[in-house]
Structure 1
Amino acid sequence: MKLMTCALFSLAVLAAGCGRQESAATAPKKLPVASAAQAHSLVLDTRHIDQVLSDFTASGELVGVSALIYQDGREVYFGAHGMADRERKIPMARDTLVRIYSMTKPVTGAVLMTLYEQGKFQLDDPLEKYAAEFAGMRVYAGREHGEPVYEAAARPITVSDIMRHTAGFYSDSSDSPVGELYRAADPMSLTHTLEQMAESLGELPLVFQPGSRWLYGPSTDVQAFLAERLAGQPFLAERLAGQPFAQLLQERILDPLQMHDTGYRIGDRRDRLARMYNRHEDGSFTPITDDRAPANAPLLRDWPMTPGGWGLVSSLDDYMRFARMLLNGGALDGVRVLKPETVALMAADMLPDTVTDRSWLPGKGQVGFGINFAVRLAPPADRKEASGAVGEFFWDGFANTLFWVDPQHKLAAVLFTQYQPWGGVDLHKDFRDAVYRNAAAASALGRPAGPDSAGR
């Protein structure tokens, strides 16, 4: 039965690509189909998983951590260890709310893909067809006599570019004079609406030609703007008021899935919000208590900005409902949010082989990239890589949260903690290694040693 499920999932990828007649540049790649041996039932060692997480807080490597796993349609593991707020002595709990940062991105992608299903756009469409703000883009082309040089974009940014981070937008990790312009314009200011963000971003040069590289940046915020622009509007909806993105998010994802704990503002639930901590090089943690700090300010009042790439607060059970919807091919508890072929398209590798410069994405393992997810294309190459099953899709957040969906083993996992910056603790790898401890094809344990790999 599991083999049949994996095969159907791969066939749905093909159907999604063929049905919408996207070009070769955006057509999803066929994922490997698991063999009968690989698709056997994964037996989780939940005691070991719990011990691994408990050790992180007992040793002081983390202040608090929690995790939830579903398999075959039922809960198979929940654990919470340490403190949600060390200073107030509030333990990490099942209903603790956390800042999920970039785990907002897959939710935004789901909103936009509901519009895709309505025929509002095609992946190959130029973004400027719906958003004139991004017409006639310039691209940074280096320096000449010490001065920056800009050239015209070789082709327009497409919708698929903003889905897979190949648009060319500036990122903090890119080294170019565009950074100074970006910081001065501050397109992601909380005081901006999504439309103002798009206007500002569209005036800035790109840092590479569209479609030529993978670079993490504000593409998902542009997705939120596009969804807002297109909702309720005909084609070529230039500068016509659409539907606010926060409303779209509520009506198309959060309400249907009964994700009542998820949103941009914390409201009267602050006593449930985990404290954010700064982790220092010596492994110590200091709490972020200033309400004006970036970790807190966006949550405490209604700002004009409702970003697509970050900003949501959620609970374990809420985000698991989103993950289970994806695992079930777009439906949960009798409510359909997306079609199975749409979920399969989102979870397929959309990066062309010609995109060889992929920034830090290879640090995530043997992966490609779909619509706001990394997609595992091959088993772990060595034991330094995190364990994972071929065909799984996943993403994480700046505060070190993580989720993934594994169709091969009918499994979804959500992992929460709250510290910044990203990394510094082997939490994701150790948790994944514990989950796949008994799956030879997915486990990194026992594989040969390899070179060091770095994530984000």
Structure 2
Amino acid sequence: MKELSQKLERLIETAVEKEEIAGANIVVIRDGQEMAFAADGYADIEAGKKYERDTIARLYSMTKPVTSAAAMLLMERGLLDPGAFVEEFLPGFHNAIVASGGKLVPTVRPVRICDLLNMTSGLMYGGDVTSVCSMETEKLFDRIKEHLYLEDAMTTQEVANRLGLIPLQFQPGESFQYGTSADVLGAVIEVISGKTFGEFLKEEFFEPLDMEDTAFYVPENKQERLAKVYQRTEQGLELYTENHLGIMNAMEQVPAFESGGAGLVSTLDDYAKFAAMLLQEGSYQGKQILKPQTVHYMTNGSLMSWQQEVLDQCWEGIRGYTYANLLRIQKEPGKSPMFTSIGEYGWDGWLGAYFCNSPKDRLTMLLTMQLKDAGTTSLTRRLKNVIWSELCGGRRE
């Protein structure tokens, strides 16, 4: 639909002009047919390089749905039990402790795989100075960053085992906390498969799905397509080159730590294949990547009521959604701050990549940008509202 593409392009163009972003691209697919594509702005302002359809973007947390799918594949093969204890795979989680009331106490029960999938493990990210768990996690990621390019760079399993030694924020299953659970899950997948996480994903997903530009690094012959990262400052957009969450900003070599929570790069068209596979009940061009029942389980989960209360209080931007299997899943569209439909699922990333599938509308929306601390932006919500109003009747059920 040319008209929809033009509307989306104007929104992106205006955001670029206002220096909300450096550049972005978006694609909308319905029933397997492309309904709209738009791109504007720059992948590299200094070099005058445009943000194109094949621009490679750092996914950050949009890596998590891929990690979830990998866990689902092992579950359907009978190799991964979501009720199993993480300590069975990673010894760092033996005798885990919890920071409670200024004291360190034993866990009532060990962390389970399902806790990793639903972010109910008690693991955190860094940045919260009021939390022992968060501050110790911050120290660990500082150590990872310091050794990123050294021979003793920490591996995926080493990082996960070290995370297991850090006091948990709460008793496993007691609450909800967005954190490093997906990184630990990636390490569990390594242990079960006997392969690096990157090798497992390549063999089981990226090669069967023809995702040629998706990996934990960008080879030299593709580096010119990797977008630069920008941050907003009082002086306007400025280049951001720091490494974050143990991820190399330059993405120029295979990392020792392949982060299941944040490490992948991809393109619109690559991730669209992964999204299409999920929307088509695990099938892609005649290949059954996941079983239909597996996809149904993955995309229809829910937090327990007491965990949902925490999510609702701490994350206003995803009101109406629950969280399960490393996905936001829409349960009450009337509470959402943007147009959506019941059953819509997906996730976003720290630099602004955004993904959603709506089975009810047979619709996929994919957006990438490379803006520091972006997540789901105002631009994202405006783009999504236009798409839903054009294709889904502005449905808020």
TM-score, normalised with respect to structure 1:
0.79
Indicate the residue corresponding to 2:104 in structure 1. Answer: 150
Q: Say yes or no: does 1:160 pair with 2:114.
A: yes
Aligned counterparts, 1:31-430, within 5 A? 45-143=4-102, 149-172=103-126, 174=128, 175-186=130-141, 189=145, 190=148, 191-231=153-193, 242-268=194-220, 269-280=222-233, 282=234, 284-289=236-241, 296-297=248-249, 299-355=251-307, 356-358=309-311, 360-381=314-335, 385-422=337-374, 425-430=377-382
Q: CA deviation at 1:127?
A: 2.0
Cα shift readout 1:377-429 (whole Å, capped 9, x = no counterpart)? 112337xx122111000100000110100000101111011111225951111
Supply the distance in 2 between the matched residues of 1:202 and 1:308 (Cα, whole angstroms): 16
Check the 8 A contact 1:153/1:209 in 2, yes or no: yes
Supply the distance in 1 between the matched residues of 2:241 and 2:127 (Cα, whole angstroms): 27
Q: CA deviation at 1:183?
A: 3.5
Partner amino acid, structure 1, of 2:225: R
Check the 8 A contact 1:279/1:421 in 2, yes or no: no
Q: Note closer, same or farther for the CA distance 1:295–1:366 as it changes in structure 2 (3 Å cut).
A: same
Cα shift readout 1:241-290 (whole Å, capped 9, x = no counterpart)? x211111010011001000011111111111111110112x482001357
Q: CA deviation at 1:53?
A: 2.4
Q: CA deviation at 1:295?
A: 6.8
Supply the distance in 2 between the matched residues of 1:229 and 1:442 (Cα, whole angstroms): 44
Supply the distance in 2 between the matched residues of 1:415 and 1:247 (Cα, whole angstroms): 26
Check the 8 A contact 1:276/1:295 in 2, yes or no: no
Cα shift readout 1:415-449 (whole Å, capped 9, x = no counterpart)? 011111225951111011111114346259xxxxx
Q: CA deviation at 1:63?
A: 1.4
Supply the distance in 2 between the matched residues of 1:173 and 1:351 (Cα, whole angstroms): 24
Partner amino acid, structure 2, of 1:87: E
Partner SS for 2:55:
coil
Cα shift readout 1:126-179 (whole Å, capped 9, x = no counterpart)? 222333331221100122xxxxx1111111211100001000013225422333
Indicate the residue corresponding to 1:5 in structure 2. Answer: none
Structure 2 gap segments, 5+ residues each: none
Percent identity of the aligned residues? 28
Q: CA deviation at 1:188?
A: 5.1
Partner SS for 2:62:
helix
Supply the distance in 2 between the matched residues of 1:203 and 1:425 (Cα, whole angstroms): 35
Supply the distance in 1 between the matched residues of 2:80 and 2:132 (Cα, whole angstroms): 33
Check the 8 A contact 1:345/1:370 in 2, yes or no: no
Supply the distance in 1 between the matched residues of 2:68 and 2:78 (Cα, whole angstroms): 15
Supply the distance in 2 between the matched residues of 1:424 and 1:118 (Cα, whole angstroms): 34
Check the 8 A contact 1:348/1:369 in 2, yes or no: no
Aligned counterparts, 1:5-20, within 5 A? none
Supply the distance in 1 between the matched residues of 2:256 and 2:108 (Cα, whole angstroms): 34
Per mean C-alpha deviation after superposition, the further-off stretch among 126-135 and 81-90 is 126-135
Q: CA deviation at 1:362?
A: 3.9
**Greater Rg, structure 1 or structure 2?**
1
Structure 1 gap segments, 5+ residues each: 1-41, 144-148, 232-241, 445-456
Check the 8 A contact 1:140/1:208 in 2, yes or no: yes
Supply the distance in 1 between the matched residues of 2:26 and 2:172 (Cα, whole angstroms): 38
TM-score, normalised with respect to structure 2:
0.90
Check the 8 A contact 1:171/1:215 in 2, yes or no: no
Q: Note closer, same or farther for the CA distance 1:366–1:271 as it changes in structure 2 (3 Å cut).
A: same
Check the 8 A contact 1:61/1:425 in 2, yes or no: no
Which of the pair is proportionally richer in helix?
A: 2
Check the 8 A contact 1:349/1:370 in 2, yes or no: yes
Q: CA deviation at 1:294?
A: 7.0
Task: Give aligned pairs, total.
Answer: 385
Supply the distance in 2 between the matched residues of 1:113 and 1:185 (Cα, whole angstroms): 28
Q: CA deviation at 1:293?
A: 11
Q: CA deviation at 1:78?
A: 1.0
Supply the distance in 2 between the matched residues of 1:226 and 1:291 (Cα, whole angstroms): 24
Indicate the residue corresponding to 1:450 in structure 2. Answer: none
Check the 8 A contact 1:433/1:443 in 2, yes or no: no
Per mean C-alpha deviation after superposition, the further-off stretch among 414-423 and 359-368 is 359-368
Supply the distance in 2 between the matched residues of 1:52 and 1:443 (Cα, whole angstroms): 22
Q: CA deviation at 1:47?
A: 3.5
Check the 8 A contact 1:401/1:415 in 2, yes or no: yes
Supply the distance in 2 between the matched residues of 1:334 and 1:283 (Cα, whole angstroms): 51
Check the 8 A contact 2:132/2:167 in 1, yes or no: no
Check the 8 A contact 1:366/1:379 in 2, yes or no: yes
Partner SS for 1:437:
helix
